[in-house]
Structure 1
Amino acid sequence: MTFTEIADRVWVARHEWFDVNVTLVGGERGLLVVDTHASELAARAVIDDVRRLGVALGGQSVVGAVNTHEHFDHTFGNGAFRAAYGDIPIHAHEVAVARTVSAGERIKGLYDAEPDDPHADEVQATEIVPADHPFSSAVALDLGDRMVELVHPGRGHTGGDLVVRVPDVDVLLAGDLVEESMARNGVPGFGEDCYPMDWPLSLDIVLSLSTSSTVVVPGHGAPVDREFVEEQRNAIGIVAETIRDLATRGVPVAEALAAAEWPYPREELAAAVRRGYEQLPRSQKRLPLV
């Protein structure tokens, strides 16, 4: 069994592919799965572990799922969980719901260009099943003897990020708003759909939902504490303010990476800088200096 209990009836399974986490939250009514892995095939292996855990718990079953955002490594197992457990509700932020199919098709295109990747066939074979229970700001899910809160703190890693709060045990599942994984040397995922100027403020809200004792489960890597989240928030804040400073001084976007010191390797920040320049209002940008 790959699931490890990190708090009362909260189990995390950390998978080698992408170092991604799948989490289970147990309640009187059953199990809630948070993120469903990166392919139908990978999800079936997760489901085998879930079933073994369910048997150990006296026959509990999955009664719902949550996608912390729209990326394929968190959503491509949705169909497998539906096949295994019936028409369970799948919850996600409304932006993530709207973007899951297009984000998944984009990834399939990238894998199509890399046919030698060992996971290419299973990604291509996966049916994209978006969540069907969208929400806007926050929603509470009733597992019988405990409530689980889904909160959209704002944009960051994507436009559809959410965090999952299990208040009775002070656990917060942060999705890819927080990343610890050494597979990326601890660098957050500044991808082509990130919002670097919003991300620090979104993490401020995440921090407001936590305490000094909160266990935070990142989307990738080992569980962390509030101090880790504070440090990552500050580093992302430096990225945002450096982008703002460069744009305000009229440094062209093509020269921005080389024009400043950054808290993360430059090669990890190309999309963040480009996206940041795009997201700044015109009033905060000067014409490039000549």
Structure 2
Amino acid sequence: MAKAFASQGDLTEKKITFDEIGEGLWAFTAEGDPNSGVIIGDDSVMIVEAQATPRLAGKVIEKVREVTDKPISHVVLTHYHAVRVLGASAFNADQIIMSRVARSMVAERGQEDWDSEFQRFPRLFEGHESIPGLTWPTTTFDDGMTVYLGNRRVDIKHIGRAHTAGDAVIHVPDQNVMFTGDIVEDHSACYCGDGYFNDWGGTLDRIKAYQVDAIAPGRGGALLGQDMVNKAIESTRDFVNSTYEPAARVAARGGSLKDAWDAVRESCDPKFSDYAIYEHCLPFNVSRAYDEARGIAHPRIWTDKRDIEMWEALQG
């Protein structure tokens, strides 16, 4: 029987956890599904990542209301992917914040990404009919910006390309806690289909230099303590390198995309096959690694049609 494409066969509901990772800082996680973060200030709340639909965002709001009745004033989106941003309307926030580069990617490829992700992972789009349209930020930044939630300072920074060109990290200095989006994952595959393999390691180094006490990663459990933080950073680095290097060797000798697929599987399967969304990510990761190794500097736009053409080429 042919394998289901991406996560079309993943219909199992995931268990939600809601962990305090610093005073007034919470990680909303769900067994490898997209995470969200919660930052409680003096008078209001900032949400990090909005989920894929307003209905799923409602599950985050339910958890927020278990710990505070303060209004939600800000939503920060670490990048443009549909599963991260399309639920933003549910929060009724005063500001929706993205990097300027991430906003440009909504304009360039937001609808194509939505159509593609909806096809790949239908379970994550529960209540998709409630999405009002593409999510646009009200506020953008280049290298960084600071938001004060009363006396609580929140630094939002673009410190390098990795998962996408416009990734943001959110650092809360008073607790030395960071929300990394999909730059760092824990026991979950990195999605590299829109990534920059040769930049990713340097961006991880800049996160590591903060020596934070906790991280809410893009997927996987909350990381508490510098040992867990550093272990996840290094396992993310290993995943990215173990994907790129075999694909680059194949590209250098003029091999095919299917050859790259076989080489990456040989490298990654023994170490990462039990990671969340591993099979989902693999074909996109191999395609992007093969492209980057052949000199295609910027990720090509994924569409629902291109997804299937790629999958058929690899399966055929």
- TM-score class, shorter: 0.7 to 0.9
C-alpha separation in 1, matches of 2:216 and 2:28:
11
Correspondence for 1:226 among 207, 218, 230? 230
Q: What residue number does 1:287 align with?
A: none
Correspondence for 1:70 among 65, 72, 80? 80
C-alpha separation in 1, matches of 2:263 and 2:219:
30
Structure 1 pair 125/180, CA: closer, same or farther in 2 (3 Å)? Answer: same
> What are the Cα deviations for residues 177-233 of structure 1, in whole angstroms up to 9, with x where unaligned?
12225xxxx211233x2222322222122212234xx21111112012222212221
Correspondence for 2:91 among 81, 99, 102? 81
Correspondence for 1:100 among 98, 106, 110? 106
> What are the Cα deviations for residues 27-60 of structure 1, in whole angstroms up to 9, with x where unaligned?
22421111111101122333243334323xxxx2
Structure 1 pair 236/64, CA: closer, same or farther in 2 (3 Å)? Answer: same
Percent identical pairs in the alignment equals: 27
Matched, 1:5 2:20: yes
Count of residue pairs brought into register by the alignment: 267
Larger radius of gyration: 1
Structure 1 pair 51/109, CA: closer, same or farther in 2 (3 Å)? Answer: same
The answer as to whether partners of 1:36 and 1:77 remain within 8 angstroms in 2 is yes
The answer as to whether partners of 2:161 and 2:203 remain within 8 angstroms in 1 is yes
Q: What residue number does 1:160 align with?
A: 166
Matched, 1:204 2:218: no
Counterpart code for 1:187: A
C-alpha separation in 2, matches of 1:112 and 1:223:
26
Structure 1 pair 154/257, CA: closer, same or farther in 2 (3 Å)? Answer: same
Matched, 1:126 2:141: no
Report the 3-state secondary structure (helix = DSSP H, G, I; strand = E; otherwise coil) of the residue aligned with 1:246: helix
C-alpha RMSD of matched pairs (Å):
3.1
C-alpha separation in 1, matches of 2:242 and 2:220:
23
Counterpart code for 1:170: N
Structure 1 pair 231/109, CA: closer, same or farther in 2 (3 Å)? Answer: closer
The answer as to whether partners of 1:92 and 1:131 remain within 8 angstroms in 2 is yes
Gap runs ≥5 in structure 1: 285-290
Q: What residue number does 1:216 align with?
A: 215
The answer as to whether partners of 2:56 and 2:126 remain within 8 angstroms in 1 is no
Q: What residue number does 2:189 align with?
A: 187
Q: What residue number does 1:288 align with?
A: none
TM-score (norm 1): 0.79
Structure 1 pair 121/219, CA: closer, same or farther in 2 (3 Å)? Answer: closer
Q: What residue number does 2:267 align with?
A: 262
Counterpart code for 1:45: K
The answer as to whether partners of 1:155 and 1:199 remain within 8 angstroms in 2 is yes
Counterpart code for 1:64: H
The answer as to whether partners of 1:51 and 1:61 remain within 8 angstroms in 2 is no
Report the 3-state secondary structure (helix = DSSP H, G, I; strand = E; otherwise coil) of the residue aligned with 1:179: coil
Structure 1 pair 240/32, CA: closer, same or farther in 2 (3 Å)? Answer: same
Counterpart code for 1:223: A
C-alpha separation in 2, matches of 1:111 and 1:277:
21
Counterpart code for 1:142: Y
Structure 1 pair 53/2, CA: closer, same or farther in 2 (3 Å)? Answer: farther
Q: Highest relative contact order (Cα 8 Å, sep 6+), 1 or 2? A: 2
Q: What residue number does 1:239 align with?
A: 243
Counterpart code for 2:192: F
Deviation at 1:251, TM superposition (A): 3.0
Deviation at 1:257, TM superposition (A): 2.4
Structure 1 pair 101/76, CA: closer, same or farther in 2 (3 Å)? Answer: farther
Q: What residue number does 1:39 align with?
A: 53
TM-score (norm 2): 0.73
Report the 3-state secondary structure (helix = DSSP H, G, I; strand = E; otherwise coil) of the residue aligned with 2:239: helix
Deviation at 1:280, TM superposition (A): 3.8
